[in-house]
Structure 1
Amino acid sequence: MIAYRIVFLVAAFCNVNGEDAYLPSYIKQCGYNDPDFASCVQQQVVLSLPQFTKGIPELGVPSIDPINLDDIIIDGNGLKLSLRKAQMHGLSTVHVTDLKVNLKDESFNLTFVANMSVSGVYNIDGRILVLPIKGDGDCLILADNTEVEISSKLTFVKGKNGEHLKLVTPNYKYQIEKTTFQFENLFNGNKELSDSMHQFANANWKQLMDDLAPPVIKQIVRTGVKAINKFFNKVTAQQLINDYPHN
């Protein structure tokens, strides 16, 4: 994301006037008719992100670091893995590499890179490739240089006081450069077996992440879009965007 609060800034950057005093002072306006609208948007996202990740309680926007995740259950390919009480950390490290917002084409595209981690309580039993693995306890999963690309339709919805923006049918893809696993209490605390398995799992991290990453990324995107649309529903596009052309 995730990242996903980054998308919120696409709304908030646009127009900060006397009537919109509730918007944070660190969010500056970009005009719809400004020829540099797209670059202005990206600049404001980058500049505002460090503050924005802390959350905006008065607008119902919580802190995004960490994000509580639903339980993750994986059962297949000879491996059973559950991850409970999971939290995703790291969106405050997001680096936006590309951001395109086109209100005329009703399109939104965001690409970001971050070092992310997931902590939680795990239970694992089965095999990674040819080696058996078994254990339960706390775990930490470090995903370095995770790149996420989100694309969505940015549409307009009629409300009582004007139009509202809304993200619909979002799609995403991702790439992870490297993953490191830290499982406590593997093999009932047997250090020799645990060290060997960590070495093997970290060398073959892609097999585990092929199953583990999709539900995590999906939750980040889904939760993010829901939060963004909740914000969009509170304020009109006319309030958010200077010279907004719709009626």
Structure 2
Amino acid sequence: MWTALIVFFVFGLTSGIVSASEPKNLPSYLTTCKKDAPDFDACCLSSARAGLPNLVNGDKKYNIPNFKPLKVDKVEVNSGTLKLLIEDMDLWGLDQADIKHLKIDLKNNKVKIDFHCPQIKILGKYQMDGKINLLALKGSGDVNITLEQPDISFSINFKVVKRGDYDYMQVQDDNEVNFSMQKLHIHFDNLFNGNEQLAKTTNEFLNKEWKSVVEDLSPTVKTTINTITVSIINGFATKIPYQFLFP
């Protein structure tokens, strides 16, 4: 769950799928890569890496927000046993993301991307009620969630659809998401209506058992990541025709 709150923002969270408008070329800070070029894969990776520092500053033309920090109104997670709402979120560290691998298979309509961040920190206001690993959790207040050295991997399937005079890339729902991190730090203020001793014990348990916490919520993490990533990429793809992306 915690990783879900990070991953989809790296791609430029918007308020939803962007409505269709006049076709746009790639931003000037992204290099066009010829699909038949022998160095196509290397070109795509180089273009993505070179463009990332510009993307994290935001680009209203392409509905990309500023990442320093990235501000998010709210995120809701319901794992079945736990309900969590985080509002007024500031996400720090996304501007340090590094794309480690990028493979675009135009023949089979697949994209594989791996990226890494040194650290991601989420600050916000939370409301929570439920259980993790049979541990009861209830409270509201400030939250600090920090991921150390997170690595995220996507395998994305897409198809090409016709709209007007142009073709557009459309990401499908059957994608694969994997993630890992070296450490997760969690702190919820005001757990159990301000019971300081119980809150202290609970926060210590969550930090000590962070691996089992992530494992327990992994299916929810992957589903959330996939759903929002599909929405974001499809929103961006409505701006730029497929022919402009891969001439």
What TM-score bracket applies, with the shorter chain setting the length?
A: 0.7 to 0.9
Counterpart for residue 200 of structure 2: 195
What SS is found at the alignment partner of 1:34?
Answer: coil
User: Aligned partners of 1:69 and 1:204: how far apart in 2?
Assistant: 26
C-alpha separation between the residues in 1 aligned to 2:234 and 2:154? 15
Q: Which residue of 2 aligns with 1:35?
A: 38
* Matched residue type, 1:143: L
Sequence identity, in percent?
A: 25
Displacement of 1:133: 5.3
Q: Deviations over 1:136-172 (max 9, x none)?
A: 3221111222222111223211222132222223221
* In 2, Cα distance between equivalents of 1:224 and 1:63: 17
Residue segments in structure 1 that go unaligned for 5+ positions in a row: 7-18, 243-247
Structure 1 match to 2:84: 82
Q: 2 CA distance for matches of 1:219 and 1:132?
A: 23
Give the match for residue 191 of structure 2.
186
Q: Specify the structure having the higher radius of gyration (Cα).
A: 1
TM-score (norm 1): 0.75
Distance in 1, matches of 2:89 and 2:131, equals: 24
RMSD: 3.0
Over 3 Å counting, the alpha-carbon distance change for 1:55 and 1:224 in structure 2 is farther
* 1:1-29 deviations in Å (ceiling 9; x for gaps): 336528xxxxxxxxxxxx96x64321122
In the alignment, what sits opposite 1:245? none
In structure 2, which of residues 47, 51, 54 is the aligned counterpart of residue 48 of structure 1? 51
Deviation at 1:196, TM superposition (A): 3.3
Q: Give ranges in structure 2 of 5+ residues lacking alignment.
A: 1-6, 13-22
Alignment of 1:1-247 (within 5 A): 1-2=7-8, 5=11, 23-63=26-66, 65-76=70-81, 80-85=82-87, 87=89, 89=91, 90-114=93-117, 115-118=119-122, 119-124=124-129, 134-168=138-172, 169-212=174-217, 214-216=219-221, 218-242=223-247
Seen in structure 2, the aligned counterparts of structure 1 residues 153 and 190 have a Cα distance that, compared at 3 Å, is closer
The count of corresponding residues between Structure 1 and Structure 2 is 225
Distance apart, 1:211 and its partner CA? 4.5
Change (3 A) 1:193 1:153: closer
Letter of the 1:37 counterpart: F
CA positional deviation for 1:68: 4.6
Tell me if the contact between 1:97 and 1:112 (Cα under 8 Å) persists in the aligned partners. Answer: yes
Segments of 4+ in structure 1 off by > 6 A?
none
How far 1:63 sits from its partner (Å)?
4.0
**Mapped contact 1:186–1:194 kept (Cα < 8 A):** yes
Letter in 2 for 1:84: I
Separation in structure 2 between the aligned mates of residue 195 and residue 233 of structure 1, nearest angstrom:
48
Kept in 1, the 8 Å contact 2:72–2:87? The answer is no
